[in-house]
Each structure stands twice: as C-alpha cells, then as structure tokens.
Amino acid sequence: MSTAPVIQVTGLRKRYGSIVAVDDVSFDVQDGEIFGLIGPNGAGKTTTMECVEGVRQPDAGRITVLGLDPIRDVYALQHRVGVQLQEAHLQKRIKVSEAIALWASLYRTSVDPRLLLEQLGLEDKRNAWFMTLSGGQKQRLFIALALINDPEVVFLDELTTGLDPQARRAIWDLVRGIRARGKTIFLTTHLMEEAERLCDRVAIIDHGRIVDIHSPAGLIRRHCPQRSVLLTTDDESAEARLRALENVAVTRADDGVLTVQGNAADLMTGVIQCLADHRIRVTDFQTVVPTLEDVFLKVTGHTIRE
Amino acid sequence: MRGLWNLTWLEVKIFVREPLGFIGTVLIPVVLFVALGRSLGERVESSSRLQGFVESDFPIFVVMLTAINAVVSLVAVIAIYREGGILKRLRATPLRPHTILTAHVLVKLIFTTMTLILLALAGRRFYPVALEVPWVSFGLALLLTTISISSIGFLIASVVPTARFAQPLGSLLLFPMLGISGLFVPLEAMPAAVQGVAHALPLTYAVSLLRGIWLGDSWMAHGWDVLGLAVVFGLCTALSSRVFRWE
Ligand SMILES: Nc1ncnc2c1ncn2[C@@H]1O[C@H](COP(=O)(O)OP(=O)(O)O)[C@@H](O)[C@H]1O
Ligand SMILES: [Mg+2]
C-alpha cells in the first residue's frame, strides 16, 4: 500500500460511567476501500465510529482522519467527510428539498442537489415532509445528506437496519456506487450478510475489543476453512467410495443423508469427480460454505444475536 | 455564524406548518387581549383602580404572557430536538452549536414581535382607553426582557431529561415567578420573605422595567432593572453552556 491510511485509530478507549464501551481498539482504513466494523448490538461500534467522526470525545487513544485530529480539527474535517448517524432524525415537517438545500448551504463545496436526489431515487419526494417518508426513504435521504459535500470519506452507521430486503439491496448497490467514485467508506453493521457482500475488509468487535481484522473471505479461510457437501442417494456403495477420498470425513444421518466434510478448497470437485467416476445416482446435492456468522461464533464463542 | 439565516428561515417555515403553531402563538393572544380589554373597558368609568389596570397592568400582563409563552415553547422545541436526535444530526455538520441555538431564539423573537405588533395595532383600534406609550423604548425593554428570560429557558432546556417534562417544567417555573413579580400585587404589600424571593427573580425586574418604560419613566430610573436582567442573562448563559447536553 503506497498511500497512508485514510483513517488511523490506535488504542482507542471510551467508557460511560462504569461501562467500558470501547477498550483499546486499533485499526486502519485504506484509501478507496469499504471497511466494516461488525459486531452485535452494544459491542461498541457506534461509539468507535462517533469518536472517529469527532462527534464524541474519546477517553484515550490516537485518531487521525485524512491526517486531521477529529476533535481538534473538527470544523476542517467536517467539510471533507460525510456522516450518517445511527438513529438520526430531522424536523418532522422539513421538506426533503429543504433539508438538502440547507446542507448544501453549509459546506464550502456541494454537488448538484437535484442530481443527488435523482441518484437516490428521491426526486418525486422533493416536497414531502420528513415525517411522511418511509424507513427506506429516510435512510436514502440521510445518505444523500452524507454525500452532499462530495466527501472523501463517508461514515455509515447501521445503514440498512430496519429495512426490508429489497430496500437493503438497493442501498448496497448505492454504497458500491459511492466506492466506485473513489470514496473511502467506513461502515458498521450487525448484519453478517451485509458485511460479507459489501466490505473489502472487516474488523470484528465484541465487548469493545477488536477480535480480528481481514477480508471476509480471509476470515473464513482463517477461522472456518471447513466446507461440507450433503447428498442423498440410494446407492449402497456411496459411503465407502466417498470415504476413500483424501482428507475428508463422512457421516451418515438417520434419514440417510451423507455429509462429506473437508478443509480443501477443491472438496466439491473431489466429491463430484468421485460420484461421476462410480456412476453414483444422487437425488439431492447441497453444499454448505461457512459464512461470517460461523466465523463470528468461532472467534467470540457466541452468536451475533446473543 | 455560517448558515444562521438559512436555518432561521427554515425553522420559521417549519413552525408555520405546525398545527396551531401560528394560530396558537400569534392569533389567540391578540383575540384574547381585545376581548378581555373590551369587557373590562365597559366598567372603567365606575372605578379608578380598574382604570389603572386597563391602562398599564393588563397590557404589561399580556406582553409578559406572550414572552413567557415564547420561552416555554423554546424550551419544548429544544427538548424535542434533543430527544429526537435532531440536534445531534445538526451538530455533525459545519453548523456551530451556538448557531443552532441562536436560530431558535431568533424564530421565537420573530413570532413574538409579530404578536406584539398585532397586539399594538388591535389595541389602537379596539382598546377601551387611548394610550400614549414610548413604543421604541418599550420595544427595546421588551427585547432585553425576552432575551433574558430565554436564557432561563436554555438553563431549563439544559437540565430537563425528556421532552415530556420540558414544557410543564418551564411553565411551572416561569408562571409563579410572574405571580410574585409585583404585577398583580404590589411588592410592598407582600410578606417580607416573599419580597426577598421576588427580588431574586428576573421577572420582577422585567415587570418593573416594562411598566416603568410604559408609563414614561426614563431608562436611568431603571438602571437596576437592566442590570438585574443582564446579570440573569450572563449567569444562565454561562451555566447552561456548561451543562447543556446535545443528546
Ligand atoms: N450515551 C451513552 N451513555 C451510556 N452508555 C452508552 C451510551 N452510548 C452507548 N452506551 C453503551 O456503550 C456500549 C456500546 O454501545 P454502542 O457503541 O452504541 O454499541 P453498538 O453501536 O455496537 O451497538 C453499550 O453497552 C451501550 O449501552
Ligand atoms: Mg450502534
């Protein structure tokens, strides 16, 4: 990596009374990547992100964003970053176009508000009051507000929480579009699927501590390399044939389903080859690839929903 | 102060869109003032005590009520904005915190001014007694008073935990202050202990200043009132800037 990281966090700590929300957190975010902070509710994601945004004062640690100190240089930084806060609201009776116009007037540079609303599919909601927007529309408005100043770094805190799957997918496409325009994106989510589909790299955070940082595929390879094939067949010889494959474990369930497990990347190829070579007829074939959920369970000892 | 005018104008528009926003703040006081004034006016001839009331105390009362109402609703707006996370969202922009708060004070001042101008016009036309009042001086005195009470409003807004308590608490603190401000019962007629309390309260100085200027006193005669209001403003602003919470 030739350029310096866009965000550098070292030894960040923050407590609320006796609750330690963030405990010695360190990570870097590189130029042009989508970096995700993932973990269950209460893990310390929002606190960490708000310290980086300069909205919250850390107790200890060093943070730089674009070479600036988020607390000391907050007004300089605000012109260069875009922020979407978790659980934000606007005035009930503010119109979409008024919110965009106000935001545009606050920054030194701004993109064309009309174009932005069009890109986010809000142009026919220009004159709607904030209180009349749906959850997805509100979220898109907040993304628009975060992009109005053509920021170099965009912060997105739980941007699809509470949205239906369709709206969620639309927003994912949008975020990819933002990265395609060369922006750096720092997001948080407690949705593992979202992290896996969207992020170039993720940091897993639990109880205020970073557990591991890598690309989603890298984390899976590192912590949950095991894949499985589940198949159903009437062929009595199948179990013995599959057992003959190298580095695999085969188990048979009560209902006759065979499970073939192994760590090798070409496990599927080996199984298919074996079935073909011995002309084994299967009536059902299913592969199970580990996800970030499995990684999370493995590294923290609990599921993300606990 | 970047964005102050944009934000102020926007908040004015938003306020007008609120159900009862404009009617409740601007029209109702004017209608009440005229109706009550007229019904009292019919009996003015028969009592000189009542005449004094109609000529100065009642108008001052209405003016104070308008100002206090504005401040109570300022407290409520700030509490609602804080609870809803709106203040926090605005603070994450280049808007400076004091710009956001100043905009809200300006909005209240704009509507209070509007109410008072309408009151004055309605008074000219419908009020039972003709009044010669130094309007410019009185306007200035009123501005000073409102800004000073607003700072109390900020202090209240800084400490109320939720929006639901903001409005009642504001009323609960400000209206009793008005009760012993000397407007209804002369200060000298009150028990010594109550007098002591009254002298520690800003509304007492506000009423004394407004009534004095209304009746044609010079500013010099009310130097202490002005000082009292200024001290309250300084104290409350300093305190609330220390304890104000944005979320
Ligand atoms: N303003 C606050 N006051 C007190 N405790 C807080 C506050 N904000 C967050 N917390 C606590 O800090 C911990 C981390 O919260 P948060 O950073 O919001 O986590 P996440 O965003 O991962 O859900 C939680 O235990 C939460 O209850
Ligand atoms: Mg959060």
CA distance A121 to A104: 18
pLDDT digits (tens, 9 = 90+) for A119-157: 888 999 999 999 999 988 999 999 999 999 999 999 999
Q: Which fold has domain A225-289?
A: Alpha-Beta Plaits (3.30.70)
Helices (H), B127-218: 135-159, 163-179, 192-199, 202-214
What pLDDT is stored for residue B49 in this prediction?
66
Average pLDDT over residues B206-218: 90
Distance from the CA of A189 to the center of ligand 2, in angstroms?
Answer: 8
Q: Which atom in ligand 1 lies closest to the alpha carbon of residue A17?
A: 4
Closest chain A CA to residue B78 = A91
B51 vs B7: which has the higher pLDDT: B7
**Which candidate from A79, A91, A102 shows the least CB-CB separation from B6?**
A102
CA distance A178 to A147: 9
Average pLDDT over residues A62-82: 94
Distance from the CA of B241 to the center of ligand 1, in angstroms?
Answer: 25
Average pLDDT over residues A223-241: 88
CA distance A227 to A268: 9
Nearest ligand for residue A47 CA: 1
Tell me which residue has its CA closest to atom 7 in ligand 1: A16
Average pLDDT over residues A15-23: 95
Residues in chain B with CB shorter than 8 Å from the CB of A77 are: none
Q: Looking at the predicted structure, is the pLDDT value of residue B223 above 90? A: yes
What rounded mean pLDDT belongs to chain B?
85
Residues in chain A with CB shorter than 8 Å from the CB of B95 are: 106
CA distance A148 to A142: 10
Q: Which atom in ligand 1 lies closest to the alpha carbon of residue A50?
A: 17
Residues in chain A with CB shorter than 8 Å from the CB of B84 are: 89
CATH fold match for the domains A7-217 and A225-289: no
Residues in chain B with CB shorter than 8 Å from the CB of A51 are: none
Average pLDDT over residues A239-262: 88
Q: Looking at the predicted structure, is the pLDDT value of residue B43 above 70? A: no
What pLDDT is stored for residue A2 in this prediction?
57
Tell me which residue has its CA closest to atom 6 in ligand 1: A16
Tell me which residue has its CA closest to atom 11 in ligand 1: A21
**Domain residue extents for chain A:** 7-217, 225-289
Q: ipTM strictly over 0.90? A: no
Average pLDDT over residues A235-239: 85
Query: Is B98 within 8 Å of chain A by CB?
Result: no
A305 vs B190: which has the higher pLDDT: B190
Average pLDDT over residues B125-139: 77
* d(CA B179, nearest CA chain A) in Å: 35
pTM for the structure as a whole: 0.85
Q: Which atom in ligand 1 lies closest to the alpha carbon of residue A22?
A: 14
- Which residue, among B202, B189, B186, has the nearest Cα to B146 in the 3D structure? B202
Q: Taking chain A, what is the end-to-end CA distance rounded to the nearest angstrom?
A: 37
> Which structure tokens are listed for B241?
């800037």
Which residues is A129 bridged to in the sheet? Answer: A95
Sheet holding A227-233, edge to edge: A249-252, A258-262, A227-233, A282-288
Q: How confident is the model at residue B66 (pLDDT cuts 50, 70, 90)?
A: confident
Q: Looking at the predicted structure, is the pLDDT value of residue B39 above 90? A: no
Interface of A with B (CB under 8 A): 53, 55, 75, 78-79, 83, 85, 87-91, 93-94, 98, 101-103, 105-107, 129
Q: How confident is the model at residue A35 (pLDDT cuts 50, 70, 90)?
A: very high
Average pLDDT over residues B190-216: 89
* d(CA A74, nearest CA chain B) in Å: 9
pLDDT digits (tens, 9 = 90+) for A201-220: 999 999 999 999 999 999 99
Q: Which fold has domain A7-217?
A: Rossmann fold (3.40.50)
Least confident window among A255-259, B56-60, B145-149? B56-60
CA distance A145 to A138: 10
For chain A, give the percent of residues with pLDDT over 70.
Answer: 99
